Amino acid sequence: MLGTTSSLLGHYAKLEESLTKLYRGLADGERSAELRAVLVGYAEDVRRRRETVERAYREAVTDAYSVGFLPEPVDEAEYQIDGDLPESPTQGDLIKATVALEETTVRFLDRAAGSVRSQLPEVAQAMTAAARGGSRRLDALRSMSSK
């Protein structure tokens, strides 16, 4: 159970690190230079959105204002990373895994934002914006997998 904002951020960092690796893996196997650049951009966007959420947290929490336990703890078991890929994954395998992880991350961000909103509205706002970015990438990934 994730009962503090810092534990939420720790789980979020794990999700985003895995997502970055998947986007880079997709980019490495892509023949189209244009699509490869898009996927590398997605990996960079994931890194930026995590930094934005972490910065919002650091700015909101000071030594004078410490955040205790969340009013609504989040069950991390609902947002686990399933990173099992075949030994030699195809682009299709990577896209499928990336879509699944991006969906999990967006759901987690939406839930986490609701959990921290009363204590740290700036962090909730950053998480909501990060979830919107993930949703946009999901749309692009889904169209990629249907081609």
Q: In sequence order, what are the residues at sequence separation of 6 or more whose Cβ sits closer than 8 angstroms to the Cβ of residue 35?
A: 144
Instruction: Kindly state the helix (H) or strand (E) to which residue 91 belongs, with its residue range.
Output: helix 91-116
DSSP conformational letter for 146: T
Give mean pLDDT, residues 56-70: 69
Reduced to 3 states, what is the DSSP secondary structure of residue 11? helix
Instruction: Kindly state the helix (H) or strand (E) to which residue 74 belongs, with its residue range.
Output: strand 69-74
Instruction: Name which of 26-35, 36-45, 117-126 the model is least confident about.
Output: 26-35
Q: What's the confidence (pLDDT) of residue 125?
A: 95
pLDDT mean across residues, the chain: 86
Q: What's the confidence (pLDDT) of residue 64?
A: 39
Structural domains of the chain, ranges and CATH numbers in brackets: 2-145 (1.20.1260.10)
Give mean pLDDT, residues 25-37: 86
